[in-house]
Each structure stands twice: as structure tokens, then as C-alpha cells.
Amino acid sequence: MYQLANTDLWKGRVDSETDESQFRLFQTVNFKDLTESADSKGQEGIGILGYAVDKGVELNKGRVGAKEGPDAIRKAFAGLPKQKATSVTDYGNVIHDADQLEETQEAFADLVNASIQRHKQTFLFGGGHDIAYAQYLGLRKAYPDASIGVINIDAHFDTRQADYSTSGTSFRQILDQDDNADYFVLGIQHGGNTQNLFDYAEAKDISYVYADELFYQVAPPVKDKVERFIHDHDVIMFTICMDVIDSAYAPGVSASCVLGLSPQIVLEIAKRIIPNDKVSTISIAETNPTYDIDSRTAKLAATFFYHFMS
């Protein structure tokens, strides 16, 4: 079900009520209904849509709580300084009240497509990583004939075999149903994926980089690999799972990670991806406030999105 934005989430310190150079995002954010007809201005600014769903995490036998992630990220995002000439529109959340998770993903996809038509960038606040399959469905609706390159920064492949959609199946669903989509994942943990998942990666020609290759730097060969992948596709879908980040920085996730990546490395990778015009949607998944400490993970996710604003 679609819920309009909760305006009460957008508040913070007021340094000035008249000088825009001192404004924060909560002072300038817009609130609209994505089901209403769009104006004729074309793609501009940033649209925010939340996936307040953790049913996929539950089905994947994970720790629930990520459905509270989108609003936690909003609270952290709201108090950040306004950037010049960047408009932000909050469209609210999709929650899961359907019989099947796939129905919720389809509903979210329709709204993602609508936001793509309106905005240069669409920020998707998760929620479980089943948001990725919904993000893909929305992209495919917007670009029916394009080759889609999916880039995921994640400790896990999330290519499990199941008879239904979960937070661990998104990328298998994409690859098994779309011959015009490819998958590249950075941050893979040796101990976080079974041999079956590595076998599937080989069978499907999935490109991946291990986490321990990224502990200290993003080496030139990795940067080149990312840039080639972007070059080879018409549209890029970008998603980050917060469980790729070391639990010292991101304790509030559905599956915490020891020996994970640092936030600085994630940002360094993103610098090679976000500026490209082929990237219209960005999702961050698995922020779980139930296990967060001092809103550390929500603040980090919000800071990532802030860096991604163009």
C-alpha cells in the first residue's frame, strides 16, 4: 500500500528563516503524491520513495526491523544542509499489506517508474534488499528495451534459489528473467556465500570483487572494471546493502558484518558510478533501526545519499 510522506519526519535546527544559504533540507523539501499526474517540466531534482518493507527479510530468515529504515534515514537526511539548485521531493512509502511480497514489489515498481519520469535522480530508501527487484522492475518499465547493468555493493550475492521473492533472491530473479541485464557486485565476503552461490555466479557470468580486495583502496583495475561495466550498458541500476559495511560503522542492519568495508571505500566506489547520466535510481537497503546504535547506520545511509545528490 502507498502512503504519502509523513511531514513530521522533516525537522531540525533552524539557523535562518530567510537566508537560503543557511537552510537545511527540511526547510525546502516538497511533498507530493506520485499517483497524481506529473507536470510538464520533465526530469529535474531528486525524488525520494521509501520501501518500508521487511517481509523479504523475514522470508529469508533474517532479523526483521528494516521496514523502519526509510523513516529513520529521512530523519537523518532532513537536517543536512541544503545544496544549491537541488530540489528534493518526498513521495512517502510503500508498505507491505498484500498477500504476496511480489504484489508489493510491483506496486513499488510502478511508483519508481513514475518518479523516473519526473526526476533526474530517484533515491530509494529501504527496507529489505528485496527493494532491488522492485527497483529493477521500475527501471524496466521506464526503459523497456535498454540493456540494464546492475551494480550492487554488498557482502552477499543475493542470488538464492526460492519459489518466492525474498531479500536474498532479487538478483537471481533479475538474471533468470532478463537476458538483457547483467550483474556486478562488489564487497563479496568469502564466508557470507555458499559454494552454490559462487557456482551460480560462474554459470551466469556475474562479475564480482571480494571484500578483502577493497579493504584499503579501490585499486585501478577495480575502477577500470566498474567503468567498463557502465560503458557496456544503456542504463545502470545502483544499489547498496548496508550489511557490506563493517559493523563498527553500521551496526543497525539485518545481518551485521565483521571485516566489512569502510564507508570511505563505499563512497570511493560510488564516485565511479553516480555521476554518470545512465544512473537514474539509487537504493540503499537493510538499514535496521532495531539494532542501530545512536542512529549510526541511518545517519550513514543519509550521508551516502547526501553525497550522491547531483
Q: Is 129 annotated as a binding residue?
A: yes
Q: How far apart are CA 71 and CA 55, in angstroms?
A: 17
Q: How far apart are CA 161 and CA 38, in angstroms?
A: 39
- DSSP H or E segment with residue 70: helix 69-78
Q: Is 154 annotated as a binding residue?
A: yes
Q: How far apart are CA 84 and CA 88, in angstroms?
A: 11
Q: CB-based burial of residue 1 (10 Å sphere; 0-12 exposed, 13-18 middle, 19+ buried)?
A: exposed
Burial 51-63 (b: 16+ CB within 10 A, else e): bbbbbbbbbbebb
Q: Are strands 148-153 and 121-126 parallel, antiparallel or unpaired?
A: unpaired
Burial 130-160 (b: 16+ CB within 10 A, else e): bbbbbbbbbbbbbbeeeebbbbbbbbbbbbb
Q: Is 39 annotated as a binding residue?
A: no
**Cα→Cα distances 46→11, 21, 120, Å:** 19, 19, 6
Q: Is 292 annotated as a binding residue?
A: no
Q: Is 307 annotated as a binding residue?
A: no
Please give the annotated binding residues for Mn(2+), written as ranges: 129, 154, 156, 158, 241, 243
Binding positions are 129, 154, 156, 158, 241, 243
